[in-house]
Structure 1
Amino acid sequence: MHLPSHQYLDDRSIPYQKLSFSPETKKGAAHVANVLGYSERQMVKSLIFVTSIDEKVLVMLGGDQNAISGHLKKAIGSRNIKLASPNVVQAITGYAIGSIPPFHWQSSGFRSFIDASLMQESVLGVGAGEWGQEILMAPEDLVKAAQATIVNLCNKLQPVFESR
């Protein structure tokens, strides 16, 4: 199976591996990680948030992670954000929640963020756009494909932005 997300990576010569799992697998990163033999942290959640000015942003977290609200607001630059509804997610990405690829559907200027701790993993899994299909890739290749900004969203002891 060759999906638009695969074509996007092929067109940019970004390395990746295709994996499949049963579409009967229960939804959620923990279940995907279990059937594919990876840690939950390595299976990335692609979340869409909406700001008070109706900007939509993509936030990538490990399957076992939750963003710290203050860190997320600081990274996005808005104190008023909320998780997008399933209908908004579908309208923005073209995909139903559960297997949203974190690249290829964004318009110019769309902002994407990835939690810094994911850069320590050897490989990350992301949805390919169809439940039962997963893309594995190196963290730096995911950042490149998603044109993501690396920020600390989950560690309350570290600043949001890396000091330079």
Structure 2
Amino acid sequence: MSTPDTTPATISSDAHPRFAEALRELGLQVEVRRFPDAVRTAVQAAAAIGCELSQIVKSLIFEADGVPVLVLMDGSSRVDVERVRTEIGAAEVARAGAGLVRETTGYAIGGVPPFGHLTKTRVLADRGLLGHTEVWAAAGHPHAVFRLDPATLIELAGGTLVDVRERTA
């Protein structure tokens, strides 16, 4: 059921065209919700959807020894860059800049979906995503999201399950 701030969506009109094409190629039918205001952050997305912050999937690009790596993390957690570095055996890992994110994925920060990117990238998916029956991720731009079960989302993204979230004290 839609709230006043959302509209039941059709894939073709509410997802980014490249992401809509990726969904069609996968034969995946998902509900895409479009919001009048951007939901660039996990907090904004969770508030707009009305779900738990941890049900939001952040698709974050890092640069590991100069090579882009996608990390899928729940919205309530932060990526531990040192754990990513250890996981992939890189000397240096840092958040990618906006230019590299767009060049790698074809999408702007705040709208990067977990799959349907311009280039094939190594994907690490934090194991914590599996703690939910459904999660929400960006559908290619900052005004649209889609819902999917986390195991399928990780599989479609080609993700390797890892533990890369920051540990709390």
* TM-score with structure 2 setting the length: 0.82
Within 2, Cα distance between the matches of 1:43 and 1:89? 19
Asked if residue 117 in structure 1 is aligned to residue 131 in structure 2, the reply is: no
Which residue of the partner structure matches residue 32 of structure 2? 18
Residue correspondences, number:
154
Within 2, Cα distance between the matches of 1:106 and 1:149? 19
Is the CA contact 2:84–2:164 (under 8 Å) kept in the aligned structure 1? Answer: yes
Within 2, Cα distance between the matches of 1:113 and 1:35? 27
Q: Name the SS of the counterpart of 1:6 in structure 2.
A: helix
Asked if residue 50 in structure 1 is aligned to residue 34 in structure 2, the reply is: no
RMSD: 1.9
Q: Structure 1's 155 and 85: CA in aligned 2 closer, same or farther, altered over 3 A?
A: closer
Within 1, Cα distance between the matches of 2:138 and 2:104? 16
Is the CA contact 2:104–2:119 (under 8 Å) kept in the aligned structure 1? Answer: no
Is the CA contact 1:21–1:132 (under 8 Å) kept in the aligned structure 2? Answer: yes
Q: Structure 1's 156 and 65: CA in aligned 2 closer, same or farther, altered over 3 A?
A: closer
| Structure 2: runs of 5+ lacking an equivalent | 1-12
1:106 deviation in Å?
4.7
Which residue of the partner structure matches residue 46 of structure 2? 33
**What does 1:59-70 correspond to in 2, within 5 Å?**
59-70=71-82
Q: Name the SS of the counterpart of 1:82 in structure 2.
A: strand
Q: Aligned match of 1:80 in 88, 92, 102?
A: 92
Identical columns (%): 25
Within 1, Cα distance between the matches of 2:58 and 2:142? 13
Which residue of the partner structure matches residue 126 of structure 1? 137
Instruction: Give the partner amino acid of 2:44.
Output: H
1:46-88 Cα deviation digits (max 9, x unpaired): 1111122x21110011111112233211222213111001111
Most deviating of 68-77 and 85-94: 68-77
* TM-score with structure 1 setting the length: 0.85
Q: Name the SS of the counterpart of 1:150 in structure 2.
A: strand
Which residue of the partner structure matches residue 116 of structure 2? 104
Is the CA contact 1:15–1:137 (under 8 Å) kept in the aligned structure 2? Answer: no
Within 1, Cα distance between the matches of 2:98 and 2:166? 27
Q: Name the SS of the counterpart of 1:67 in structure 2.
A: coil
1:15 deviation in Å?
4.7
Asked if residue 144 in structure 1 is aligned to residue 155 in structure 2, the reply is: yes
1:121-149 Cα deviation digits (max 9, x unpaired): 11111111122110110101111211111
Is the CA contact 2:138–2:146 (under 8 Å) kept in the aligned structure 1? Answer: yes
Instruction: Give the partner amino acid of 1:58.
Output: L
Which 4+ runs in 1 deviate beyond 4 A?
none
Q: Name the SS of the counterpart of 1:49 in structure 2.
A: strand
Q: Structure 1's 19 and 115: CA in aligned 2 closer, same or farther, altered over 3 A?
A: same
Which residue of the partner structure matches residue 160 of structure 1? none
